[in-house]
Amino acid sequence: MLQPLLGGWSPGKRLILLLMIELVTVAVGYVSSDPAPSKYNPNAVRINKCCEKFEVMLDGKCTVAESINATVWVPEFTGRNGEQNVQVEAIRYIIGAPDCGSMQKWPIFHYEKSEDKLILFPDGKVRHLILDPHARDEPEEEWDQLYSAEPRMEAPFQYDYEQGQYCLDKALSSNERQPEGIFATVCSPEKVVRWTDSDFLLRKIINPICHGIAMIILLVVAIVYFVLPTLRDLVGNIVTSITVCLIVSQAADLVRIFTEFSNHVSFVVADSFFYISLLAAFFWLNSLGYYIWKTFRARNVFLRVTDGRKYCWYSGYAWGATATMAGVAIFSHFFLDGPNGKRNSSVFENQDTIGWLGIAMFFTPIAFIIILNTFFYVTTLKFINRMNTYGRIHHKLKCNFIMFTLIFLVMSTSWLFLILSWLHFDALLYTHIIVNALQAPCILYICVFRQKHVTFLLKKSCCYNEPPTTSDWGDEMTYMNGGDY
């Protein structure tokens, strides 16, 4: 019929016209044959479905329902006052997982006798309830009434999700032991926190700033004892090793503060670095206490062993003991600790962490080190009190003993308040933050400003080069001249 009209057209123009007519015909046929009038119903309730309309979730994958002889998921609505099977005018499915943006996605399984419950309201919103595990014997139909819009009971944890923040579907399993239920993928709820809140200000702003300042201060101490040649003896190298371990622990603890920006892998790694570095710092402190104790007991303090060789021996002890105990702790975490011990107390920051058994493997050696260092302190103090005459080396050892005692006191106090902060009392947590912030300045004062020979060397090498005065002879000469320390 179009041949006479198109007789003068070129073959290319004829082909383009025929393709346009075909596209218009297909589009008109598709619109006229659409059997779902609810798609254009403005009152239709939007339901986010994880899989296609004809699919269900089988073993975590979308599967065609007919291929496994299963029925598709049909939404069941619950009223705000607990009414069951509320009817809606029409339903409009939105297929696909929610777009959470920067928020994390979390899977939820709702089945009979589970602690997670999902309630779908007639307006398309979803409520997630995390129930008390001791109350799971309640009848299934009573939970929707107990935790409706005007609940008669308060769920331990309850979150509501708007449309677009979730997707629901029927969940099946090829394992016959697994019950049939409802699967949901939700966007992790973000708690609205004002930066002016005192709790948020202290935990998320002041605490990280204090960690950063502490790392800078400890780095200064390490540089002072590493750069000045006079301080690079055995005691100076041990002090440098302790400060480096504390710097690593502060950096790892800084990562642990921002839990919402971490996944489970980096969280376990941060925990491991924190506990291992803290354990290594205490083993190095134990090496310092043993060296001072052994030297005071020796009849001849002029031992024919270089500081370099001694440092290698103490390094083998400190790093070897740290590696051994860390291996035992990590093995206990992955193979011996239960799954409940590897979780945080927070619900949606449900990250894998070093479990309680692993923490016990890390902290039990520290407790024994504190007891052993206390023995070193008491016995060495008795030796010092019995001595009537002091040589130059004994004065230097006494100075090192006082420095060891003060560092031991500071680190033990900080470790004790770290344990107390796990009791979930805000006052104890705030105290731990304050004590941890004071640890690095105290070590700076003990190792640098309190040591007169260190300040003298700093003045001589950094600031100016002038002849020493009477008050600048250092700790040993101060002792020998009758000065107080």
Q: What is the pLDDT along the chain (485 residues), one digit of tens a residue?
A: 445 555 556 666 666 666 676 665 555 544 443 444 444 577 788 888 899 888 988 888 888 888 888 888 888 888 877 788 888 888 888 888 888 776 778 888 888 777 788 888 888 888 888 775 554 455 555 545 544 444 444 445 678 888 888 898 988 888 777 778 888 888 876 555 556 667 778 888 899 999 999 999 999 999 999 888 888 888 889 999 999 999 999 999 988 887 544 444 457 788 889 999 999 999 999 999 999 998 887 765 554 446 678 888 999 999 999 999 999 988 887 887 655 455 443 333 444 567 788 888 899 999 999 999 999 999 999 888 887 666 677 778 888 899 999 999 999 999 999 999 888 788 898 999 999 999 999 999 999 988 888 888 887 776 555 554 444 444 444 444 444 44
Question: What is the pLDDT at residue 376?
Answer: 93
Regarding the domain delimited by 198-450, which CATH topology (the fold level of the hierarchy) does it fall under? Rhopdopsin 7-helix transmembrane proteins (1.20.1070)
**Which numeric CATH code is attached to 45-187?**
2.170.180.11
Question: What is the pLDDT at residue 174?
Answer: 80
Domain(s) of CATH 1.20.1070.10: residues in the chain: 198-450
Question: What is the pLDDT at residue 139?
Answer: 52
Q: Are 408 and 375 in contact (CB under 8 A)?
A: no
The count of other CB atoms within 10 Å of the CB of residue 240 is 21
Question: What is the pLDDT at residue 87?
Answer: 84
Domain(s) of CATH 2.170.180.11: residues in the chain: 45-187
